[in-house]
């Protein structure tokens, strides 16, 4: 639904805002929030794994010691120290002066886009990519140069090279190196190296969205930022490893960019969210995060294995799917005869199961017969119940 239609009588919207549509994901949220639905749709962490008690204690500590925690305040230096330690666990050596605190990865990408992208400029990204990033680009109306993604090795880096060789100079290249959303692939080591070489050779920065990077189930690879301090702008978040409602994340950039970023952020939300930053900081002071991340890797790994097993046991042979090393999703390719919108409707109505049709992530609105399934939010029991139900619709109606 166009969001402008209800406003037209009162206000003349900016050109790009007139074309705004409710995202497929927002529509899904409404459709799948009905009681009784088993949802494999949204990429939410599991509520039962949030360290609510520890966060409650951290909040109480923060507020009992200092009512000033409720005041406007600059970014919390001690949290930057914690982030620096966390980045070391990710194989990245950075300085506190290079860390910029944000209200989550989404804001990190939004601020970097405002910093780097001219209206009508260009960016390179994959054709199937996190829709939240596409929304970030909307106001700039950029020329989005897309490349494909290999199911085993990730982004087509040769195609990136072709663009650059033929003269394209995008404001940045967007990469989800680990735990790709929606494709769940990770970029191979050799492609990581090559992509960073290209960024350096052509002086084009890479915005690396590492929202899922701490949740790898197999041996983690160091992110692109470990290969280049100058040309990789790293975006991190506590949303998936602690809790998204805290709205705390960070960016790692060359230090000369921290000041302009702080000016842009100030114009956006003053200094959101200082209280959350203090709560996360107090939680991190207790030293519990490494064990929390280990627990999440084990538990989400279990859910991933349960989903892969359920798919193997129930889905028809003509379907194929990825085995995610990292992140929250399984990407399933169905035969081209399957109409995934129809499958979505039937699955919701007949079997009360939800997923996201793959084309919701297509930059060029390309139709496809793929679907994205989330395994982090449903319990193993719900996965074991939901996948056979989805398979039933698939076999009964559409095969």
Ligand X SMILES: Cc1ncc(COP(=O)(O)O)c(C=O)c1O
CB of 107 to ligand X, least distance (A): 6
CB of 239 to ligand X, least distance (A): 3
Q: Tell how strand 38-39 and strand 320-321 pair up.
A: unpaired
Cβ distance to ligand X smaller for residue 105 or 347: 105
Q: Does 181 bind ligand X (CB under 6 A)?
A: yes
Contact between residue 177 and residue 90 where contact means Cβ atoms under 8 Å apart: no
Rounded to whole angstroms, how far apart are CA atoms 398 and 146? 31
Nearest CA to 176 out of 361, 354, 374 is that of: 361
Q: Does 105 bind ligand X (CB under 6 A)?
A: yes
The residue to which tokens 């470990």 are assigned: 226
Residue nearest to ligand X (CB): 104
Cβ distance to ligand X smaller for residue 215 or 391: 215
Cβ distance to ligand X smaller for residue 55 or 105: 105
Residues 18-57 vs ligand X: string with x where CB under 6 A?
-------------------------x--------------
Cβ distance to ligand X smaller for residue 105 or 354: 105
Cβ distance to ligand X smaller for residue 180 or 192: 180
The sign of the torsion formed by the CA atoms of 297, 355, 373, 185 equals negative
Contact between residue 52 and residue 245 where contact means Cβ atoms under 8 Å apart: no
Q: Which range in 88-96, 100-108, 221-229, 387-395 contacts ligand X by CB under 6 A?
A: 100-108
Cβ distance to ligand X smaller for residue 373 or 391: 373
Q: Does 237 bind ligand X (CB under 6 A)?
A: yes
Q: Which residues pair with 99 in a beta bridge?
A: 252
Count of residues interacting with ligand X (CB under 6 A): 14
What Rg value do the Cα atoms of the chain yield, rounded?
21
Span 112-171, contacts to ligand X by CB under 6 A:
130, 132
CB of 104 to ligand X, least distance (A): 3
User: What is the H or E stretch that residue 346 is in?
Assistant: helix 340-351
Rounded to whole angstroms, how far apart are CA atoms 248 and 239? 7
Rounded to whole angstroms, how far apart are CA atoms 138 and 109? 13
The residue to which tokens 């194929």 are assigned: 320
Nearest CA to 130 out of 180, 169, 79, 192 is that of: 180
Q: Does 356 bind ligand X (CB under 6 A)?
A: no
Give contact residues for ligand X (rule: CB under 6 A): 43, 104-106, 130, 132, 176, 181, 209, 211, 237, 239, 244, 249
């Amino acid at each position: 639904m166009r969001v402008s239609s209800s406003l037209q009588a009162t206000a003349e919207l900016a050109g790009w805002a007139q074309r705004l549509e409710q995202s497929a994901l927002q529509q899904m949220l409404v459709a799948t929030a009905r009681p009784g639905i088993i949802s494999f749709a949204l990429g939410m962490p599991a509520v039962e794994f949030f360290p609510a008690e520890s966060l409650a204690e951290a909040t109480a500590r923060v507020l009992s010691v200092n009512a000033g925690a409720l005041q406007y305040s600059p970014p919390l230096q001690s949290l930057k120290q914690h982030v620096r330690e966390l980045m070391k666990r990710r194989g990245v050596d950075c300085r506190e002066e290079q860390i910029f605190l944000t209200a989550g990865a989404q804001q990190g990408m939004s601020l970097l886009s405002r910093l780097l992208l001219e209206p009508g400029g260009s960016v390179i990204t994959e054709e199937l990519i996190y829709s939240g990033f596409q929304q970030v680009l909307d106001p700039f109306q950029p020329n989005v140069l897309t490349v494909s993604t290999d199911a085993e090795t990730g982004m087509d880096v040769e195609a990136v090279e072709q663009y650059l060789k033929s003269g394209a100079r995008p404001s940045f290249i967007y990469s989800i190196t680990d735990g790709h959303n929606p494709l769940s692939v990770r970029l191979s080591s050799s492609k990581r190296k090559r992509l960073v070489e290209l960024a350096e050779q052509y002086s084009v920065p890479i915005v690396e969205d590492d929202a899922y990077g701490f949740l790898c189930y197999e041996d983690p690879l160091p992110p692109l930022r470990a290969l280049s301090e100058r040309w990789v702008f790293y975006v991190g978040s506590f949303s998936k490893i602690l809790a998204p409602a805290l709205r705390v994340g960070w960016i790692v950039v060359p230090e000369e960019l921290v000041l302009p970023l702080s000016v842009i952020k100030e114009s956006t939300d003053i200094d959101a969210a200082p209280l959350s930053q203090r709560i996360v900081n107090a939680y991190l002071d207790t030293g519990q995060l490494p064990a929390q991340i280990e627990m999440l890797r084990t538990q989400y790994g279990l859910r991933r294995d349960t989903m892969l097993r359920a798919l193997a046991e129930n889905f028809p042979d003509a379907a194929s799917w990825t085995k995610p090393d990292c992140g929250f999703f399984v990407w399933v390719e169905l035969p081209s005869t399957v109409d995934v919108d129809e499958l979505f409707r039937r699955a919701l109505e007949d079997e009360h199961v939800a997923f996201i049709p793959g084309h919701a992530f297509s930059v060029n609105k390309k139709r496809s017969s793929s679907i994205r399934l989330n395994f982090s939010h449903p319990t193993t029991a719900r996965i074991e119940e939901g996948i056979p139900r989805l398979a039933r619709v698939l076999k009964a109606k559409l095969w």
